[in-house]
Amino acid sequence: MERGPTGTIERGPSFDGESVRAFVPFPLPPSPPLLLEGDLREQLDRGLLELGRLDSVALLLPDTRLFLYAYIRREAVLSSQIEGTRSTLSDLLLFEINEAPGVPMDDVAEVSNYVAALEHGLSRLRDGFPLSNRLLCETHEKLLARGRGAEKHPGVFRTSQNWIQGARPGVALYVPPPADRVSECMSELEKFIHSPPGSISTLLKAALAHVQFESIHPYLDGNGRLGRLLITLLFCNERVLQEPLLYLSLYFKKHRDEYYDLLQRVRTAGDWEAWIAFFVAGVTETAGQAVETAKRLARMFRADRERVANFGRIAGSALRVHEALERQPILSVGLAAKKARLSTPTTTSALNALMESGIARELTGKRRNRLFGYQRYLAILNEGTEPLPLEE
């Protein structure tokens, strides 16, 4: 349904002598109300069903933390790639054990910041802190703590005009609200996020809030990543998910042109329903993929443990090293020994046995300072995480 523009165009402070025309979105919820009927209603029902299946994924794994550790990092890589980083999941895992030669450090630091930001936001919510502008600013501060963007006022709403694409606001694809309207717009968004339970489904709330946040673009940098984090924080805050298991970055990455077009159609034509259909399709697809990935990992861990249990006299130590690789799929000998609580020679023997069985793979090709990866685990996690092609 096309309602017309969902905001007003206001003149902001001039930029290099050029008048700035900025978009100021109307507060949520949309008016006139959403038309949630027919196919769209069925899509919403399927989306909620898949979210319920995803929330029960903890029952599939002996330790949900195994899945979360790597899945959160996979999301960090994907979300940062949308913003132009070239880092891979392996780059991040190497960076976290201080073994990242040749990796673009600004890129991998940016990805690492994303992990820290998500973990901070979730920790605050678990402690009872409300999902609020203050929490978003705290999370943003973690997001831009180091690397690119660290000089762009982390944790503080912008005090100058920004824009999306183009060399200046006059030729930009989109110009968000003037800086002096940001606090007011974000205050209205906060009120909407705090809508009473039952007044709007969390799935719809997340769809609408994401667009509104992207339209306000309240920070000088990091808006896209924080806007995607907001979706996860909302689902966890309203207990739709007990753990942060849903991430839409891969879906947005695969459909990025449609994603940006639909955001703009909401602003210019008020077509919220087209955006909601896209968003809910992404939730449905992504939740289903996460469930299947958890099942694959559970089967793989179980099958590999059974193989390791038949290693003979070394089976006990090999099982402990295998468990360490489940928790962290790239390890040095020293770190594996520490995590498995074994001596270095015993750990080395266990890793050699795991390599001979095809479970582990040596990553460096060196004779010293070797690193080992859980081969099939990394292959599953790396699906879809190839960096986006560079634009010509």
pLDDT tens-place string over residues 135-193: 999 999 999 998 777 888 999 999 999 999 888 998 999 999 999 999 999 999 999 99
Q: What is the pLDDT of residue 146?
A: 82
Higher pLDDT, 82 or 48: 48
| 110-121 average pLDDT score | 90
The CATH number of domain 309-381, selected from 1.10.10.10, 3.40.640.10, 1.10.110.30, 2.40.50.140: 1.10.10.10
| 312-319 average pLDDT score | 96
| 1-14 average pLDDT score | 91
Mean pLDDT for all residues in the chain: 89
Give the DSSP letter string of 174-226.
Answer: B----HHHHHHHHHHHHHHHTPPTTSS-HHHHHHHHHHHHHHH--SSS-HHHH
Task: Please tell me the least confidently modeled range out of 47-56, 107-116, 383-392.
Answer: 383-392
- On the CB side of 24, CA atoms within 13 Å amount to 16
Give the DSSP letter string of 126-170.
Answer: HTT--SSHHHHHHHHHHHTSSSTTTTS-TTS--SS---BSSSSGG
State the pairing for strand pair 7-15/360-362.
Answer: unpaired
| 364-387 average pLDDT score | 84
| 349-358 average pLDDT score | 97
Residue 390 pLDDT greater than 70, yes or no? no
| 233-255 average pLDDT score | 91
Query: Could you tell me the pLDDT band of residue 216, with boundaries at 50, 70 and 90?
Result: very high
Residue 60 pLDDT greater than 80, yes or no? no
Q: What is the pLDDT of residue 392?
A: 34
pLDDT tens-place string over residues 94-105: 777 765 455 555
Q: What is the pLDDT of residue 284?
A: 97
Q: What is the pLDDT of residue 12?
A: 84
Residue 55 pLDDT greater than 70, yes or no? yes
Q: What is the pLDDT of residue 391?
A: 43
Question: Domains of the chain: which residue ranges?
Answer: 7-293, 309-381
Q: What is the pLDDT of residue 77?
A: 82
| Contact of 370 with 355, CB cutoff 8 Å | no
CATH number of 7-293: 1.10.3290.10
Q: What is the pLDDT of residue 220?
A: 96
| 211-226 average pLDDT score | 96
Q: What is the pLDDT of residue 104?
A: 53
Radius of gyration of the chain (CA): 23
pLDDT tens-place string over residues 258-310: 999 999 999 999 999 999 999 999 999 999 988 888 888 889 999 999 999 99
| Contact of 91 with 105, CB cutoff 8 Å | no
